[in-house]
Amino acid sequence: MNKPVIGITLNWYENDVSKAPSYGKWLFGLNQSYAKLVSGADVTPVGIIPTSSDARNVLDIVDIILLTGGPDPDPALYGQKNRGSIGCHRERPLWEMELYRNARSMKIPVFGICLGMQLIAMAEGEQLIQNISTQVDDPDDHNGKADDPRKHTVEIADGTFLRNILGSEIEVCSFHHQAIAGIPKGYRHAAESSDGVIEGMESDDGLVIAVQWHPERDFTGPLILNSMISRFYGKTD
């Protein structure tokens, strides 16, 4: 039996202006922590290079999608003015939301991480909390530095996929200053931090698992990914 293919979205890095005419506006890359995560699972990983072609063509060879973390999306994409967003990227969010929508229509399982969870919510019509420290009462410290992420406790809802594999309360690796403002239709609340920030959600049909923390940088990533593979393909590493 062939290994399931996991398609991983890439981060978009703006190219030097002087190089753009020859090389294009964007460079595409992936943090090694994601490579380490998938290396511990019995899958064939492939990077999904953004193209102008129909995203469904990319998904024809993919069995599961991993939507990775990244910078803040432009708040105009969910109908808000800037209230603390940084960078305000448009092209990657637009492309990945379309990728997600196609994956859903093709019933392909999706694992969303940080920005990935936010883009899922946005694609389903939800808005974001643009800056937790100024928009949440008595907020936890969710946002460390890239080389020093924060760790905080997350409570996981009873009866969820995440609860079954992670337990009721865990400490997670956190590196974000934004979060989803609500649970979209067709999803259920799966996890939250002590300040009420939503840290996890799951689709009602069980095909989408999304978390706000960075499981590729703590113990939870292999547990979630291998459990998804076992659930949908009857095998783990």
The domain that holds 111 is classified in CATH as: 3.40.50.880
pLDDT above 80: residue 147: no
Length of the chain, please?
237
Tell me what the mean pLDDT of segment 86-104 comes to: 95
Separation between Cα atoms, residue 148 and residue 173, nearest integer Å: 9
What integer pLDDT is reported at residue 152 of this predicted model?
85
Q: Which of 89, 114, 126, 142 is catalytic?
A: 114
Query: Confidence band (pLDDT; 50, 70, 90) for 236?
Result: very low
Tell me, yes or no, if 189 is annotated catalytic: no
Query: Confidence band (pLDDT; 50, 70, 90) for 103?
Result: very high
Number of domains in the chain: 1
CB 64, CB 6: distance < 8 Å: yes
Tell me, yes or no, if 88 is annotated catalytic: no
Query: Confidence band (pLDDT; 50, 70, 90) for 139?
Result: confident
Separation between Cα atoms, residue 173 and residue 152, nearest integer Å: 7
What integer pLDDT is reported at residue 237 of this predicted model?
44
What integer pLDDT is reported at residue 53 of this predicted model?
67
Query: Confidence band (pLDDT; 50, 70, 90) for 101?
Result: very high
Query: Confidence band (pLDDT; 50, 70, 90) for 234?
Result: confident
What integer pLDDT is reported at residue 188 of this predicted model?
98
Domain holding 76, by residue range, is: 5-233
Instruction: Calculate ∠ Cα 71-41-236, nearest 5°.
Output: 130
The answer to whether the Cα torsion of 106, 107, 108, 113 is positive or negative is: positive
Tell me what the mean pLDDT of segment 2-20 comes to: 93
Tell me, yes or no, if 114 is annotated catalytic: yes
Q: Per residue in 151-193, pLDDT tens?
A: 889 999 999 999 999 999 999 988 889 999 999 999 999 999 9
pLDDT above 50: residue 198: yes
What integer pLDDT is reported at residue 54 of this predicted model?
72
CB 59, CB 106: distance < 8 Å: yes
Separation between Cα atoms, residue 234 and residue 236, nearest integer Å: 7
The percentage of residues in the chain with a pLDDT greater than 70, rounded to a whole number, is 95
